[in-house]
């Protein structure tokens, strides 16, 4: 496993995606419409018939790189065995760190729906992706 040490020296994160995670649940009425796989990020997009959408990303790096720490409106959420951060802007988004990766959900769905989806995070075997 390739790991990179953060500037503070107190935590590690992956330099490349070696373990792929997906959401084992999809919200009712939504379907996956696109997927982009990369060395440093994976991106999934879901949409419904009303053209509402949400996205799910798996990324490398420190979670602090993805959180707006100047925003006082972020809420802490318990997700899996860690903490997620929910923020409401033009669209909602939820960011969490798990297994050395950063995950992000964003879109036109509620905080509770995002938490439900984030709790369905599942490690998959590479051959099971398609």
Summarised one tens digit per residue, pLDDT across range 75-92 is 888 898 888 999 887 889
Containing structural domain, residue 69: 3-128
In the chain, which residues have pLDDT < 50?
A: 1-10, 130
Please give the structure tokens belonging to residue 61.
């790096």
List the CATH number of the domain containing 59: 3.30.200.100
List the alpha helices (DSSP H) in 1-130.
Answer: 111-118
pLDDT for res 66: 66
Distances (CA, A) of 13 to 59, 68, 89: 10, 19, 27
The domain total for the chain is 1
The pTM for the full model equals 0.83
Q: What is the pLDDT of residues 35-46, one digit of tens each?
A: 999 999 999 999
Dmax over Cα atoms in the chain, in whole Å?
47
pLDDT for res 70: 66
Query: What does the alpha-carbon distance between residue 57 and residue 64 come to, in Å, rounded to a whole number?
Result: 16
């Amino acid at each position: 496993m390739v790991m990179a040490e953060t500037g503070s020296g107190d935590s590690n994160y992956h330099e490349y995606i070696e373990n792929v995670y997906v959401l084992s649940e999809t919200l009712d009425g939504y379907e996956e419409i696109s997927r982009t796989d990369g060395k440093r990020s994976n991106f999934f997009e879901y949409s419904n018939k009303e053209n509402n959408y949400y996205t799910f990303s798996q990324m490398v790096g420190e979670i602090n790189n993805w959180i707006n720490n100047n925003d006082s409106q972020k809420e802490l959420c318990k997700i899996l065995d860690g903490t997620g951060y929910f923020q409401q802007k033009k669209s909602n988004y939820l960011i969490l760190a798990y297994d050395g990766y950063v995950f992000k959900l964003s879109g036109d769905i509620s905080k509770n729906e995002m938490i439900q989806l984030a709790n369905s995070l599942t490690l998959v075997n590479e051959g099971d992706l398609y």
